[in-house]
């Protein structure tokens, strides 16, 4: 292994959230010291995960199957759909154990600054999912907008609520308790559970 290969690895690792160049250097050094017990198993795991994991075609969650485990679980309440920005938020809500319905992952928020419009998000698929079936009713009765209390998160919530205004669905959002500017993923389980329980009309 040449120095340039080490540098390349450090550079790649430093792009991960929470890791700067310094942490990346330490991580690489540690891996090189534990080549057989850490570095090679990690390389295999990275390759296998990259090949096996895909986005659920229904909700956008990540899993190794076309339809994710949450969507496949017959015990989950089909009448409530929780809309989140990112898979990290889905994981946060799952960790809290406060929600037993299903999800829809948008893949981000609307952002004028970053040039992200509705077409860049998983919104069309959401509206499709909520469209009434042949019998005129939708399996979903309530849509919870579990979005960050950031400007972009709230803009996204308003946009979706507006699109669903005539749908007859109950559209709710998380209660205060989500601090302004707060991202869902950073909330502790208790706060998230309280915000979900005390949700109100959007
Ligand atoms: Zn799914």
Rounded Cα distance, 138 and 168, in Å:
10
Reduce the DSSP state of residue 81 to 3 states and report it: strand
30 CA from centroid of ligand 1 (Å): 36
The one-character DSSP state at 35 is I
25 CA from centroid of ligand 1 (Å): 37
**Average pLDDT in the chain:** 90
pLDDT digits (tens, 9 = 90+) for 91-112: 999 998 989 999 999 999 999 8
pLDDT digits (tens, 9 = 90+) for 31-82: 999 999 999 999 999 999 999 999 999 999 999 999 999 999 999 999 999 9
Give me 85's structure tokens: 């920005």
Rounded Cα distance, 130 and 164, in Å:
9
Residue 26 pLDDT > 60, yes or no?
yes
CA distance from start to end of the chain: 57
User: Beta strands 54-55 and 102-105: pairing type?
Assistant: unpaired
Q: What is the pLDDT of residue 135?
A: 75
Give the mean model confidence (pLDDT) for residues 177-182.
59
Of the listed ranges 19-28, 90-99, 132-141, 159-168, the one predicted with least confidence:
132-141
68 CA from centroid of ligand 1 (Å): 4
């Amino acid at each position: 292994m040449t120095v340039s290969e080490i540098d390349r690895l450090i550079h790649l690792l430093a792009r991960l959230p929470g890791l700067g160049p310094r942490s990346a250097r330490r991580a690489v050094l540690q891996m090189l010291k534990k080549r057989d017990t850490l570095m090679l198993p990690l390389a295999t795991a990275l390759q296998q995960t990259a090949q096996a994991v895909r986005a659920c075609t229904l909700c956008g969650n990540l899993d190794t199957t076309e339809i994710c485990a949450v969507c496949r679980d017959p015990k989950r309440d089909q009448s409530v759909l929780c809309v989140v920005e990112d898979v990290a938020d889905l994981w946060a809500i799952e960790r809290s154990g406060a929600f037993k319905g299903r999800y829809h992952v948008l893949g981000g928020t609307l952002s004028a600054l970053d040039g992200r419009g509705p077409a860049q998000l998983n919104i069309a698929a959401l509206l499709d999912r909520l469209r009434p079936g042949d019998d005129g009713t939708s399996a979903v009765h309530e849509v919870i907008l579990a979005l960050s209390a950031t400007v972009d998160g709230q803009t996204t919530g308003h946009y979706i609520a507006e699109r669903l205004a005539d749908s007859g669905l109950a559209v709710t959002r998380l209660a205060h308790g989500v601090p302004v500017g707060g991202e869902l993923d950073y909330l502790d389980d208790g706060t998230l559970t309280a915000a979900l329980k005390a949700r109100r009309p959007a």
